[in-house]
Copies of this chain bind each other. A is one copy, B any other.
Amino acid sequence: MDTTLFPLPTPLLSRQSPAGDCMSCVMARLCRAPSEEACRAPAARSRRSVRRGEALYRAGDALHNLYLLRAGSMKIRVTNTSGLEQITAFPVAGSLLGLDAIETGIHTCDAIALEDSVTCALPYRELEANCERDADVGRQFHRLIAHDMNQCQRLLLTLGRMTTDERLASFLVDTSEQMAAHGYSPRKFVLKMTREDIANHLGMKIETVCRVFSRLQSASLLHVSKRHLEILDVEALRRMSCG
């Protein structure tokens, strides 16, 4: 296969204009409001604000929209019939949410805001129409879904094969890179989620998360105080994270 099939930069979603005008939106082609005129208007797409702790959607909800997270952050949580819960991701601004509903038309996950957040609602019907109208957009959308799948597979490897130290190191490196990709400092940032959420995401218990943080701090790899994190030795963390 020649590379012209994939001419787009690999990070499909990156730095996002926080202002949220459609003209500068990285997703403009995927989203594309019905008329160009509409796109020029300040609020061409219906915004949906979600308060900290509230759900953008829940497992069982019918698929109406996908959502582009414009500001804030969320946790995505898959649940099963016996009430087990697993946090699969902590999306930040620029992430496309709701793909979990594409298979059946019913959401299989909850999306809960970690802080007050803003999203653009992209009606799924329109989005598919856009895929149909523009083959490039269609291909891009395939890649967006596949991206989520690959991310999920990497997390599978983390949960299946790594020790707790390695898991947390891996999580911190990923988070640091996510911060960098969004124009924030990769060295010093605030974790928006609780220790409980981190523990759940990494298949461990809250006390273990605390202990590993303490250990990493003792080893001078980072400085942590509640949600405030400063990474002192990314390379050591990277080595520790197995990959």
Residues of A within 8 A of B (CB): 1, 3, 5-6, 10, 12, 62-64, 78-82, 84-86, 88, 99-100, 102-105, 108-109, 124-125, 128, 131-132, 135, 138-139, 141-143, 145-150, 152-157, 159-162, 200-203, 242-243
Distance between Cα atoms of A87 and B64 in the complex (Å): 34
Contact A84 B243 (CB under 8 A): yes
Contact B128 A85 (CB under 8 A): no
Q: What are the residues of chain B within 8 A of A81 when measuring CB–CB?
A: 243
Interface centre among A3, A99, A154, A157 (most CB of B within 10 A): A157
Q: List 16 A-B contacts (CB under 8 A).
A: A1-B64, A1-B125, A5-B124, A5-B125, A10-B104, A78-B157, A82-B243, A84-B162, A84-B243, A86-B161, A88-B156, A100-B149, A102-B142, A128-B135, A128-B142, A159-B159
Contact B157 A105 (CB under 8 A): no
Contact B82 A242 (CB under 8 A): yes
Q: What are the residues of chain B within 8 A of A86 when measuring CB–CB?
A: 153, 156-157, 160-161
Q: Report if A157-B84 is in contact (Cβ < 8 Å); known contacts: A103-B150, A138-B132.
A: yes
* Nearest opposing residue in chain B for A242, CB measure: B82
Q: What are the residues of chain B within 8 A of A201 when measuring CB–CB?
A: 160
Contact B161 A84 (CB under 8 A): yes
Q: What are the residues of chain B within 8 A of A79 when measuring CB–CB?
A: 157
Distance between Cα atoms of A103 and B150 in the complex (Å): 8
Contact B148 A138 (CB under 8 A): no
Q: Smallest distance from the beta carbon of A222 to chain B beta carbons, Å?
A: 21
Q: What are the residues of chain B within 8 A of A146 when measuring CB–CB?
A: 99-100, 102-103, 145
Distance between Cα atoms of A145 and B162 in the complex (Å): 27
* Nearest opposing residue in chain B for A132, CB measure: B135
Contact B138 A85 (CB under 8 A): no
Distance between Cα atoms of A160 and B154 in the complex (Å): 13
Q: Smallest distance from the beta carbon of A101 to chain B beta carbons, Å?
A: 8
Distance between Cα atoms of A152 and B154 in the complex (Å): 10
Contact A161 B85 (CB under 8 A): yes
Contact B157 A1 (CB under 8 A): no
